[in-house]
Structure 1
Amino acid sequence: MRTAVPQSVLTVGAMLGEGPVWVARDAALWFVDIKGHRIHRFDPALGVGRSWAAPGQVGWIVPTDDGLFAVGLQSGVHRFDPARGSFVAIHAPEAHLPGNRLNDACVAPDGALWFGSMDDAEEAVSGYFYRFHKGVCIETGLPSVSITNGPALSPDGRNLYHTDTLGKRIWRTELAADGTVGNTHLFARIEDGAGYPDGPTIDVEGCLWTGLFGGWAVRRYDPAGTLMREIRFPVANITKIAFGDEDLRTAYATTARKGLDMTALTEQPLAGDLFAFDPGVAGLPGHVATI
């Protein structure tokens, strides 16, 4: 039974849970633990999870059109085969930036993979956004930041939402039909004391949901950037949500233990778990990457 109050549905104790994505062909939710070097799968019909070890920090996972997955490791984009547990390098966009790692991603309706990078030390302004499609990977030209999150696409594909986490800003950039970026506008600013905006997700009504790292909540903003709703959690670090289940009306949220001391962990025993709640709205159907 779905409830508006977030409930833990899978105990994983992720150090830095991230990148939830509903994969319709599996009827399952996939996500990662970046610092734990793990890939997780949750099957809601059975209420069980499964995990795989990754050969390093893994920022995201998305399905690909060959029935496998693409994952963003610190060393670059890799193809992941769950049946074999194997990882094969595809492209290293930042071989010249060994201190960077890949951090978040989404797939456009045309199969293009959009993803960002960040300074693993969370200091240098060395995070960039990329578009990878049919063997061609380009740096988009969006301003560099320390920690990128997103991007996410509006339902009509005309706007790209991307986050400067440390700057506490979410931006909206106009997109041309070929994926070329246009004008950028400030979409929302997170006020002091509310945490840091993490991964963004768009629902079927074009509203943006963002996890708040250190903010104990997720928020929903309308297409104009006005705060509509805030849902509180029993843990501090909410990283990103994904809409799942057959009707795409369950919101799954990844969380993190990162940065919590022993006192905080005692007070937040569910930190790092996968949560679910009823968002009151459906999400957008997912897409498979053509890379």
Structure 2
Amino acid sequence: MFINCLAMHKSELLSDYIGTLPECPTWSDRDGRLYWTDIVKKELHWVQPKTGEHKTLQFDEEVGCFALREKGGFILAMRSGIYLSDADGRIEKKVCDNPSNPSVARFNDGGVDQDGRFYAGTYWGPRDFNGALLCRVDSALRVRVLQCDILGANGLAFSPDRRWMYTTDTPNHVMYRTPLDPASGEPGLREVFMRFPTGNGRPDGAAMDVEACYWTALFNGHRIARISPSGEVIEEYGLPVRCPTMVCFGGDDMKTLFITTTRENMSADEIAERPLSGAIFALRTAVAGLRKPAFKELS
């Protein structure tokens, strides 16, 4: 079954912000803010939609992905490793080195599971083989590499019933699912869930809704897709830009889908044609999304 909804819902600009490579949008119920990183600019941002207040935190390295901490502040997957910081971006502790080669592989996509553990995947810059990986930091700050044989780790999301972890490998046009032990959350063997044809968008960052449907940004595809638990594309939402990078749900009712986009490596002609590339959009949805858990540390 396929339902084309490209003309049924219209996204709106979140603000007048335009970035280079915005990624990892993360909604915070605690303060009513949307957080995101601009990887190329080495920045972490937040905006409060109700007031328009916007703040930028500057770092010395790329922040590929991050998560909010239950204790306040952030866990940050940066070029050289994973760190803990306070709410103002001041580094408090280094958790680990980048388990990939940091000279050619930066962190890219990540998030937190229902047990409060932080996952972070890398992107293999040379693109000569599948040299990236996915690792996990638990509440005791122990680090474990979970998966390899990846070119660009992306699309992390967890099913509401705790049975599945979904990921994508964007350059390879593939979406995976990995079975999880419902009690411990430990992963089993990864399996291919969907393959996307070339030339029509690649699966990038993602989010999960309460009906266990997976929402993915289709990089180079001008749109967002909603995929059912059985692997059917059941809805699509068009965008006025070519390259959305990631989505997350937020707002008081969790029915606003926030969408980051990029203008990295675009020509001046394309930016003139699509000047909103790099903006963040908000799309109202009929279904609520799952809240992103915060990273949980042992006290």
Task: Identify the TM-score tier after normalising by the shorter chain.
Answer: over 0.9
% identical equivalent positions = 30
Q: Confirm or deny: 8 A CA contact 1:94 1:100 kept in the other structure.
A: no
1:39–1:123 CA distance, 2 compared to 1 (3 A): farther
Q: Deviations over 1:144-174 (max 9, x none)?
A: 2111103211111110101111110101110
Which residue is equivalent to 1:207? 213
Which residue is equivalent to 1:157? 162
Distance in 2 (CA, whole Å) between partners of 1:11 and 1:90 is 35
Q: Confirm or deny: 8 A CA contact 1:11 1:270 kept in the other structure.
A: no
Could you say what secondary structure the match of 2:61 adopts?
Answer: coil
TM-score of the two chains, using structure 1 as the length reference: 0.94
Q: Confirm or deny: 8 A CA contact 2:249 2:290 kept in the other structure.
A: yes
Distance in 2 (CA, whole Å) between partners of 1:148 and 1:182 is 18
Distance in 2 (CA, whole Å) between partners of 1:18 and 1:114 is 15
Distance in 1 (CA, whole Å) between partners of 2:152 and 2:54 is 29
Query: CA offset at residue 64 of structure 1?
Result: 0.8
Distance in 1 (CA, whole Å) between partners of 2:173 and 2:112 is 24
Q: Confirm or deny: 8 A CA contact 1:93 1:137 kept in the other structure.
A: no
Which residue is equivalent to 1:282? 288
| Pair 1:225-2:231 in alignment | yes
Which residue is equivalent to 1:192? 198
Which residue is equivalent to 1:87? 91
Gaps of 5+ in 1: none
* Count of residues paired in the alignment: 287
Distance in 2 (CA, whole Å) between partners of 1:124 and 1:97 is 16
Distance in 2 (CA, whole Å) between partners of 1:210 and 1:236 is 14
What is the root-mean-square deviation in Å for CA atoms of aligned residues? Answer: 1.6
Q: Confirm or deny: 8 A CA contact 2:155 2:203 kept in the other structure.
A: no
Gaps of 5+ in 2: 1-7
User: What does 1:222-261 align with in structure 2 at a 5 Å threshold?
Assistant: 222-261=228-267
Distance in 1 (CA, whole Å) between partners of 2:187 and 2:103 is 26
| Pair 1:146-2:157 in alignment | no
Q: Which amino acid aligns with 2:193?
A: F
Query: Of residues 122, 126, 133 in structure 2, which corresponds to 1:128?
Result: 133
Query: CA offset at residue 95 of structure 1?
Result: 6.3
TM-score of the two chains, using structure 2 as the length reference: 0.91
Q: Deviations over 1:37-74 (max 9, x none)?
A: 11110111112322111211111121112111111111
